[in-house]
């Protein structure tokens, strides 16, 4: 299920009000039940599921965004609610700022892959230029619903024509971008990746007795990087690289990430 189907207009609210985090979870649990098909599930069950997830770690992130989410027994589909508290409230955000936009995702157990895709897509929608400001400026639930979806990239090929598999090799030198890369992988249904740590040649030589003294090696990991290997459909290669460059800019000029794609001459047992 894509985010455009999971987001329910009846579960959008531009004048969300709560006294504190617990009150917010209680109110969210009630508002989600505006969607008739889940009326059989009690407010208490929804609240307890969301609260249990928050007890593990807060889903309040940066820039006034919170993404409470949970898996709930009895649900047959994913449901997303969108709530805006323009004054904001303390939701335990990692940047210590008040949360104003709450995107709530609940879904059935056993569908972790779909759940992860919705989380990743939600995160990326809220990173679109001016997305937060435009969402906060909406005065109706219809406007809120449409503005959120307007920022969604709904053009990712869901059922691309079959093509050969290629091996894509990413060298990630800026480890801070790993989350962005992971979100893109999830959206494209890439479920397996092999990651290994790598080092600059200078660091490798510095550990070799023959070359001791030629390099200032401090055993630091700052110059380390990761290499990620994924098998990808050849029809997805160009869209994936376009996604990377939308976030990081021209990869020819960006030193934090490089991409190589090679043919798979032979594979067995994969």
Verify that 219 and 248 share a domain, yes or no.
yes
CB atoms within 10 A of CB 183: 21
- The pLDDT, as a whole number, for residue 128 is 85
Q: Is residue 225 part of a domain?
A: yes
Which of 91, 119, 150 is the endpoint of a domain? 150
Question: What pLDDT is stored for residue 160 in this prediction?
Answer: 43
Identify which of 10, 182, 181 has the alpha carbon closest to the alpha carbon of residue 82: 10
Amino acid 134: pLDDT: 94
Q: Record the tokens describing residue 156, joined without a space.
A: 């990712």
**Alpha-carbon distance 107 to 156, whole Å?**
22
Return the pLDDT at 98.
Answer: 96
Give a yes or no: residue 268 inside a domain. no
- pLDDT score recorded for residue 25: 97
94 and 178 together in one domain: no
Report whether 167 contacts 264 (CB < 8 A).
yes
Same domain, 58 and 82: yes
- Residue 268 has a pLDDT of 82
Same domain, 197 and 232: yes
Same domain (yes/no): 46, 134: yes
Shared domain check, 7 and 133: yes
- Does residue 169 sit in the same domain as residue 254? yes
Q: What is the spatial distance between Cα 41 and Cα 33, in angstroms, rounded to a whole number?
A: 8
Kindly report the pTM of this predicted structure: 0.73
Say how many domains are in the chain. 2
The secondary structure of 153-207, three-state, reads CCCCCCCCCCCCEEEEEEEECCHHHHHHHHHHHHHCCCCCCEEEEECCHHHHHHC
Residue 215 belongs to domain with CATH number: 3.30.70.120
Last residue of a domain, one of 102, 123, 150: 150
**What is the bridge-based pairing of β-strands 69-71 and 225-233?**
unpaired
Tell me: do 80 and 208 sit in the same domain.
no
- Asked if residue 111 and residue 44 are part of one domain, the reply reads yes
Q: Are residues 71 and 181 in the same domain?
A: no
Same domain, 70 and 202: no
Q: Are residues 87 and 184 in the same domain?
A: no
Q: What is the pLDDT along the chain (270 residues), one digit of tens a residue?
A: 689 899 999 999 999 999 999 999 999 999 999 998 898 899 999 999 999 999 999 999 999 999 999 999 999 999 999 999 999 999 999 999 999 999 999 999 989 889 999 999 999 899 888 999 999 999 989 899 999 998 886 544 444 445 688 999 999 999 999 989 988 888 777 878 999 988 776 676 666 666 666 655 555 445 578 999 999 988 889 888 988 988 899 999 999 999 999 999 988 876
Residue at 159 is within a domain: no
Residue 155 covered by a domain: no
Residue 194, domain extent: 165-263
DSSP class of 236 = G
């Amino acid at each position: 299920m894509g985010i455009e189907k999971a987001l329910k207009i009846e579960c959008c609210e531009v004048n969300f009000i709560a006294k504190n985090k617990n009150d917010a979870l209680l109110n969210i649990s009630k508002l989600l039940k505006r969607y008739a098909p889940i009326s059989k599930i009690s407010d208490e069950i929804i609240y307890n599921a969301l609260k249990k997830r928050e007890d593990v770690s807060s889903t309040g992130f940066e820039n006034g965004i919170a993404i409470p989410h949970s898996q709930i027994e009895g649900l047959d589909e994913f449901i997303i609610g969108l709530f805006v508290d323009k004054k904001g409230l303390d939701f335990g955000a990692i940047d210590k700022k008040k949360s104003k936009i709450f995107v709530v995702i609940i879904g059935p157990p056993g569908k972790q892959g779909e759940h992860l895709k919705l989380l990743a897509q939600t995160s990326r929608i809220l990173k679109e230029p001016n997305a937060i400001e435009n969402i906060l400026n909406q005065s109706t639930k219809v406007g809120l619903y449409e503005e959120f979806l307007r920022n969604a990239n709904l053009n990712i090929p869901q059922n691309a024509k079959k093509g050969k598999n290629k091996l894509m090799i990413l060298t990630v030198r800026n480890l801070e971008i790993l989350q962005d890369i992971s979100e893109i992988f999830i959206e494209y249904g890439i479920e397996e990746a092999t990651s290994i740590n790598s080092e600059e040649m200078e660091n490798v030589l510095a550990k070799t007795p023959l070359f001791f003294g030629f390099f200032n090696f401090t055993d630091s990991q700052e110059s380390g990087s990761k290499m990620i290997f994924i098998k990808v459909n050849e029809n997805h290669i160009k869209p994936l690289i376009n996604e990377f460059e939308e976030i990081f800019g021209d990869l020819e000029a960006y030193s934090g990430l490089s991409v190589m794609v090679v043919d798979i001459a032979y594979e067995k047992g994969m």
